[in-house]
């Protein structure tokens, strides 16, 4: 007779992920916790052992996963960066100060989602960065088809686009204070539905579409931004322009709600000037537009919220287990 089995939620979640993944690629599990043994304990070892097109699930941990240099197409999925918003008892995928993801030639088509990273460097095209918490970003070389969406970006140093390229998209991100956004002149891109706090210098954009953003404390000369780019339907705290659907001289504390968590405070307040102010008639800011911000950086995967099982199974009927899951979208 089989005895009762007690499943750990993280292991059950990973088991469920297998049923939602492509049968043509391998799923690898990375964990540096003794409570959750896995295929690898570091990201670099997982990269070296995986094949192009594989998926690497990184369990939440309070320990550093180290540096990974990608030279093949891989898809890294973490647990998110806010555990209490994700699921009680599951900590985020933590990288701390030493964590670096370095996308190199050969890693075209790769993606990373739901991670905490102090340093992300991109040196090749076709890269997607989604739902991450990031301190430093650097993009070098000719880069096309870059997407950075639904991220919290702290930029204690710089966001540097020291590259040429096309189809560069920054959408539905939160840019916190403390650095510069320094794009190259030989680029085209879309900068939409972001919330930008004071301290970001974005006037070096040239040939970009800048729309549906909410901007606090723009540094530099707004005329450079306006004459070099298509700037439409943004909300500005400063005096920038009222042409092309832009609204400026807005009192900052009228835009967002005042209560809740830091991410709750990015929701628009009742009567906010950003409501319905976007180009498509929707809302400006991170919760409007094509990629509405997901609190906690939860990955676009199902989350288990209940497990029902009898105390005892047998060799005839097995051990029936009911798993209830919901979307994290």
With tokens 């905490």, the residue in question is 116
Percentage, residues of the chain above pLDDT 70:
73
- What per-residue confidence (pLDDT) applies to 157? 52
pLDDT above 80 for 30: yes
Burial class (CB in 10 A: 0-12, 13-18, 19+), 121: middle
E strand or H helix at 220: none
Contact by Cβ (8 Å): 103, 128: no
Whether the full predicted model's pTM is greater than 0.85, yes or no, is no
Q: What is the model's pLDDT at position 327?
A: 53
By mean pLDDT, which of 193-197, 263-267, 295-299 is the weakest?
A: 295-299
Q: Can you tell me the mean pLDDT for 17-42? A: 76
- Whether 135 and 117 have beta carbons less than 8 Å apart is answered as yes
Residue 298's pLDDT band, with cuts at 50, 70 and 90, is confident
Cα 222 from Cα 185, distance rounded (Å): 17
d(CA 156, CA 245): 31
Nearest Cα to Cα of residue 181 among 201, 209, 208, 154: 201
Other beta carbons within 10 angstroms of residue 117's beta carbon come to 26
Average pLDDT in the chain: 80
CA separation, residue 83 to residues 79, 295, 298 (Å): 8, 10, 9
Strand ranges in 184-241 using DSSP code E only, listed in sequence order: 187-192, 195-196, 208-211, 214-215, 230-232, 235-236
Spatial contact of 303 and 328, defined as CB atoms under 8 Å apart: yes
Mean per-residue pLDDT, 48-62? 91
Averaged over 226-254, what is the pLDDT?
Answer: 94
Average confidence (pLDDT) over 112-124 = 89
DSSP 160-175: EEEEEEEEEEEES-EE
Tell me which of 12 and 249 has the higher pLDDT.
249
Task: Give the start-to-end residue ranges of the domains of the chain.
Answer: 9-326
Q: Is 59 helix (H, G, I), strand (E, B) or coil?
A: coil
For 273-285, the pLDDT digits (tens) are 999 999 999 999 9
Q: Collapsing DSSP states into helix, strand and coil, what is residue 224?
A: helix
pLDDT reported for residue 18: 43
Q: Report pLDDT for 102.
A: 93
pLDDT-wise least confident of 34-43, 53-62, 235-244, 313-322: 313-322
Please, which pLDDT band fits residue 300 given cuts at 50, 70 and 90? confident
How does strand 100-103 pair with strand 116-117? Answer: unpaired
Helix %, strand %, coil % of the chain (to 5) = 10, 30, 55
At 140-183, the pLDDT tens digits run 878 899 999 999 887 655 566 666 678 889 999 998 865 556 66
Q: pLDDT band for position 95 (50/70/90)? A: very low
Report yes or no: 282 and 135 within 8 Å, Cβ to Cβ: no
32 pLDDT more than 80: yes
How many H-runs (helices) and E-runs (strands) does the chain carry?
4, 24
SS3 of 3, please? coil
pLDDT for the residue 180: 58
């Amino acid at each position: 007779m089989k005895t009762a089995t007690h499943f750990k939620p993280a292991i059950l979640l990973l088991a469920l992920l297998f049923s939602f993944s492509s049968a043509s690629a391998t799923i690898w599990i990375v964990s540096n916790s003794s409570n959750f043994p896995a295929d690898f304990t570091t990201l670099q070892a997982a990269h070296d052992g995986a094949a192009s097109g594989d998926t690497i699930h990184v369990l939440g941990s309070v320990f550093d996963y180290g540096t990974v240099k990608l030279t093949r197409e891989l898809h890294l999925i973490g647990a998110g960066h806010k555990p209490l918003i994700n699921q009680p008892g599951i900590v985020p995928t933590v990288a701390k100060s030493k964590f670096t993801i370095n996308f190199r030639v050969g890693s075209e088509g790769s993606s990373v989602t739901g991670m905490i990273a102090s340093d992300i460097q991109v040196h090749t095209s076709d890269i997607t960065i989604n739902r991450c918490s990031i301190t430093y970003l650097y993009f070098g070389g000719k880069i096309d088809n870059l997407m950075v969406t639904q991220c919290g970006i702290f930029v204690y140093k710089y966001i540097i686009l020291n590259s040429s390229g096309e189809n560069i998209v920054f959408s539905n991100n939160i840019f916190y204070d403390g650095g510069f956004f320094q794009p190259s002149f030989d680029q085209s891109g879309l900068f939409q539905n972001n919330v930008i706090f004071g301290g970001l210098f974005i006037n070096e954009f040239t040939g970009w579409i800048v729309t549906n953003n909410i901007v606090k404390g723009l540094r530099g000369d707004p005329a450079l931004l306006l004459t070099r780019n298509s700037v439409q339907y943004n909300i500005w705290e400063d005096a920038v322009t009222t042409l092309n659907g832009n609204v400026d001289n807005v009192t900052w504390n009228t835009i967002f709600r005042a209560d809740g968590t830091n991410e709750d405070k990015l929701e628009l307040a009742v009567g906010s000037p950003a409501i319905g102010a976007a180009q498509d008639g929707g809302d400006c800011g991170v919760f409007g537009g094509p990629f509405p911000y997901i609190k906690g950086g939860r990955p676009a995967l199902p989350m288990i919220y209940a497990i029902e099982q009898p105390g005892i199974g047998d060799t005839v009927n097995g051990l029936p287990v009911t798993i209830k899951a919901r979307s994290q979208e």
